[in-house]
């Protein structure tokens, strides 16, 4: 008996999980059984879950998902980034707009009390972690940030409270939005 | 999109179907193994087989943790394939830091009887200072490696606990992903650690001998299959195509 080789489709889905939200040019073929999010140029491979479930389902079973350090702060920085990048709130947040990092830091500064310089430093670290976890796409050399591919997995019918929250956040500084 | 799951779920009524989906999402996404008492589909062997089949679609398998808890991990053959793909393997610095954590938090306590044999989780943190001294990484690189390892759940940080009597200074322990190792993966990791920590020890010699004999059995099996394929009138080329990379990997590890 030889060792069976792994089915190519199975391996492609396993690989997508290891690499989390890996991207490829839109022209390349997509493995079956995965979700995708495209910004027109690139295509991100995302997990496909049964029956529209998301990991939020774990809440109903009192089961903790993978923890994220300082999750409250990370959520606030993500909100500040979306406030800047998700310019048309009635549309979907993905793919959104790329905006300069200082704009996000300014919005975050407006949301937090205390030492503004310290807040900016913390927020810079959080942007990096949010980028590592694919919630945001951070391009440090260009100094811009935009929504990450995981945002594309949010169901539209769950976005209401987030839209309301974002409308209450400080406005992004004028003239910093890409294309303005 | 639930299309790939549909053939597996189609025959179940709505309630059973949602139990299967919940169990699948829980073993895949919970930080820790989940108790079967909380997930009906994990309690019965028949529905566990369906969860297993759902996981198999993306190269995953159910892993039992403790007597009544479950999580998921990569199937052994899939993990071996992924390990051959440079894009899927963490950078050398990250692996070095993780190895140091395993040596200090697991191998050393295990060798002195402080930790049972078949676990990769440990209450004994590796101090940051130890990682700094031994990893030979610049502090910035070490911090980046630790950030990535923590995000991946491969290490967890233990804060200094002022209450503990032994003056525990905190540090890093293996993270929750170590629950996800299959029995074969746990065994292999144990062997690798012995080969790394005591390459000249009698135990290391035994491991090498066992691997050589396993490899001889595999080669004999391959030869038998090749002959069978030839006598079946073809297909030998495909068989060769499967085994070639496997031999290369064996060569590298033994």
Contact criterion met (CB < 8 Å) for A19 and B78: no
3-class SS of residue A46: strand
Distance CA B65, CA A157 (A): 36
Distance CA B33, CA B164 (A): 27
Contact criterion met (CB < 8 Å) for A17 and B22: no
Whether the CB of B88 is below 8 Å from some CB of chain A: the reply is yes
Six token digits for residue A62: 């009192």
Would you state the pLDDT for residue A176? 58
Distance CA B160, CA B172 (A): 10
Q: Which fold has domain B90-180?
A: Arc Repressor Mutant, subunit A (1.10.10)
Distance CA B159, CA B129 (A): 14
Would you state the pLDDT for residue A36? 92
Counting beta carbons within 10 angstroms of the beta carbon of residue B170, is it exposed (0 to 12), middle (13 to 18) or buried (19 or more)? middle
pLDDT tens for A41-84 read 999 999 999 998 999 899 999 999 887 777 889 999 999 999 99
Return the domain boundaries, chain B. 3-80, 90-180, 202-253
Would you state the pLDDT for residue A108? 93
Q: Does domain B3-80 have CATH number 1.10.10?
A: yes
Would you state the pLDDT for residue B229? 60
Would you state the pLDDT for residue B231? 63
Annotate B22-61 with DSSP letters as a single string: HHHHHHHHBSS-EETTT-HHHHSHHHHHHHHHHHHTTTEE
∠ at Cα B30 (B26, B33), nearest 5°?
Answer: 85
Task: Tell me the chain A residues in contact with residue B2 when contact means C-beta distances shorter than 8 Å.
Answer: 48-52
The beta-carbon neighbor of A50 closest among B39, B54, B157 is B54
Distance CA B23, CA A81 (A): 33
Would you state the pLDDT for residue B249? 29
Q: Cα dist. A172→A105, A151, A161, B198, B226 in Å?
A: 10, 20, 20, 59, 67
What's the average model confidence in pLDDT over A136-161?
93
Same fold across B3-80 and B90-180 = yes
CB count, 10 Å around CB of B127? 16
Q: Which fold has domain A71-168?
A: Arc Repressor Mutant, subunit A (1.10.10)
Tell whether the model's pLDDT for residue A177 goes beyond 70.
no
∠ at Cα A47 (A46, A48), nearest 5°?
Answer: 120
Interface subset of A 120-179, CB within 8 angstroms of B: 129, 132-133
Would you state the pLDDT for residue B57? 96
Interface subset of B 45-84, CB within 8 angstroms of A: 54, 56-60, 74-75, 77-78, 81-82
Residue A72 near residue A49, CB atoms below 8 Å: no
What's the average model confidence in pLDDT over A137-152?
95
Return the domain boundaries, chain A. 8-53, 71-168
| Mean pLDDT taken over chain A | 89
Task: Tell me the chain B residues in contact with residue A11 when contact means C-beta distances shorter than 8 Å.
Answer: 59, 78, 81-82
At residue A1 the predicted structure's pLDDT band, cuts being 50, 70 and 90, is very low
pLDDT tens track of chain B, all 254 residues? Answer: 458 899 999 999 999 999 999 999 999 999 999 999 999 999 999 999 999 999 999 999 999 998 899 999 999 999 999 999 999 999 999 999 999 999 999 988 988 888 887 788 899 999 999 999 988 889 999 999 998 899 888 999 988 764 444 545 689 999 999 999 999 999 998 888 888 878 899 989 999 999 898 888 888 887 876 776 666 543 333 333 333 333 322 232 22
Q: Are strands A99-100 and A144-147 parallel, antiparallel or unpaired?
A: antiparallel
| C-alpha closest to that of B175 among B121, B116, B95, B102 | B121
């Amino acid at each position: 008996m030889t060792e069976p080789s792994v089915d190519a489709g199975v391996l492609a889905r396993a690989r997508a999980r290891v690499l989390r939200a890996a991207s490829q040019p839109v022209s390349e073929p997509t493995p079956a059984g995965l979700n995708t999010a495209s910004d027109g140029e690139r295509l991100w491979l995302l997990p496909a879950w049964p029956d529209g479930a998301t990991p939020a389902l774990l809440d109903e079973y009192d089961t903790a998902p993978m923890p994220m350090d300082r999750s409250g702060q990370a959520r606030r920085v993500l909100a500040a980034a979306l406030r800047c990048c998700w310019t048309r709130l009635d549309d979907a947040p993905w793919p959104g707009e790329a905006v300069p990092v200082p704009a996000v830091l300014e919005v975050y500064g407006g949301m937090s009390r205390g030492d503004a310089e310290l807040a900016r430093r913390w927020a810079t670290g959080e942007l990096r972690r949010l980028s590592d976890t694919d919630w945001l796409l951070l391009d440090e050399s260009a100094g811009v940030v935009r929504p990450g591919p995981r945002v594309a997995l949010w169901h539209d019918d769950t976005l209401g409270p987030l839209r309301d929250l974002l409308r209450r956040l400080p406005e992004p500084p004028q003239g910093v939005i890409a294309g303005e | 999109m639930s299309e790939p799951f549909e053939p597996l779920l189609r025959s179940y009524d709505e309630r059973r179907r949602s139990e299967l989906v919940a169990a699948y999402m829980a073993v895949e996404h919970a930080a820790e193994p989940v108790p079967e008492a909380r997930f009906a589909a994990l309690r019965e062997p028949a529905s566990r087989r369906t969860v297993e089949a759902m996981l198999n679609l993306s190269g995953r398998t159910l892993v039992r943790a403790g007597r009544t808890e479950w999580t998921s991990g990569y199937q052994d053959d899939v993990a071996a394939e992924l390990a051959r793909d440079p894009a899927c393997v963490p950078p050398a610095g990250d692996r070095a830091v993780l190895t140091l954590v395993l040596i200090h938090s697991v191998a050393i306590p295990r060798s002195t009887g402080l930790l049972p044999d078949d676990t990769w989780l440990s209450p004994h943190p590796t101090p940051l200072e130890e990682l700094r001294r031994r990893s030979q990484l610049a502090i910035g690189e070490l911090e980046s490696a630790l950030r990535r390892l923590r995000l991946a759940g491969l290490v967890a940080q233990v804060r200094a606990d002022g209450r503990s009597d032994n003056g525990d200074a905190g540090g890093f322990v293996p993270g929750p992903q170590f629950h996800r190792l299959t029995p074969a993966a746990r065994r292999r990791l144990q062997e690798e650690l012995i080969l790394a920590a005591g390459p000249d020890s009698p135990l290391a010699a035994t491991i090498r001998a066992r691997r050589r004999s396993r490899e001889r059995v595999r080669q004999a099996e391959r030869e038998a299959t090749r002959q069978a394929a030839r006598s079946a009138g073809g297909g030998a080329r495909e068989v060769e195509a499967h085994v070639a990379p496997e031999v290369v990997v064996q060569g590298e590890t033994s």
